[in-house]
Amino acid sequence: MGPPSAAPHGGHRPWQGLLITASLLTFWDPPTTVQFTIEALPSSAAEGKDVILLACNISETIQAYYWHKGKTAEGSPLIAGYITDIQANIPGAAYSGRETVYPNGSLLFQNITLEDAGSYTLRTINASYDSDQATGQLHVHQNNVPGLPAGAVAGIVTGVLVGVALVAALVCFLLLSRTGRASIQRDLREQPPPASTPGHGPSHRSTFSAPLPSPRTATPIYEELLYSDANIYCQIDHKADVVS
């Protein structure tokens, strides 16, 4: 019985190769395809503004973009498409003239309305003619005063209306007061003055003329002048008149 044969020096056993292969498979992570997403900018826009549905993580091998209004591309109306080879927009049945597809796949809405709110789906086709799709949401609200809730806006409107009503009432009051004063003044002007008694002025006058002194109440010098006798003049005390 011969001795056991020894393993050949410098050779590799088959099971060692299997172990190396298994190790490589364990630590090797094959690349995964990143799913693109749709993001609305802004997330909620007021009607009349512009909104863009941004396509994120789009592959560089995309050959065509197709935007549909709905939660899926299948059975939803086509808004517009974009062909990268010819760099042209292709309008669809749901195209309103306010939509534009960019070369990166994003969709721009201009002057949005409340009816534009809803789900939108982007379908892509790459160079291998593989198709993929993602859905985003478009939120639209009424155009209110920025930074103020609807209740505050209603309060402001009510306050303005009350202020206008108060101003109108004040103007009416002033007009009525002025009209009343004018009517009273007109009545006073049209009223005839009261009749005056003979020898007296109107009752509303505060001044009156004093009667002229009669000859009998005149000063002594005039009283003496009434006499025809000239000698009487010699009896007048002229010095007393001068002193007085």
Report the CATH number of the 37-141 domain.
Answer: 2.60.40.10
Q: What per-residue confidence (pLDDT) applies to 35?
A: 83
Which residues face 118 on adjacent strands?
138
pLDDT surpasses 80 at 217: no
Categorize the per-residue pLDDT at 220 as very low, low, confident or very high, splitting at 50, 70 and 90: low
Q: What per-residue confidence (pLDDT) applies to 21?
A: 53
pLDDT surpasses 70 at 179: yes
pLDDT (average), residues 61-74: 94
Domain ranges of the chain: 37-141, 146-178
Q: List the strands of the sheet with 88-91, edge to edge.
A: 44-46, 131-141, 118-126, 62-69, 78-83, 88-91
Q: What per-residue confidence (pLDDT) applies to 191?
A: 64
Q: What per-residue confidence (pLDDT) applies to 242?
A: 46
Spatial distance between the Cα atoms of 61 and 31, rounded to a whole number of angstroms: 16
Categorize the per-residue pLDDT at 194 as very low, low, confident or very high, splitting at 50, 70 and 90: low
The rounded mean pLDDT for the chain is 75
What is the pTM (predicted TM-score) of this model? Answer: 0.48
Spatial distance between the Cα atoms of 63 and 165, rounded to a whole number of angstroms: 65
pLDDT (average), residues 3-8: 50
Question: In this structure, are strands 44-46 and 131-141 parallel, antiparallel, or unpaired?
Answer: parallel
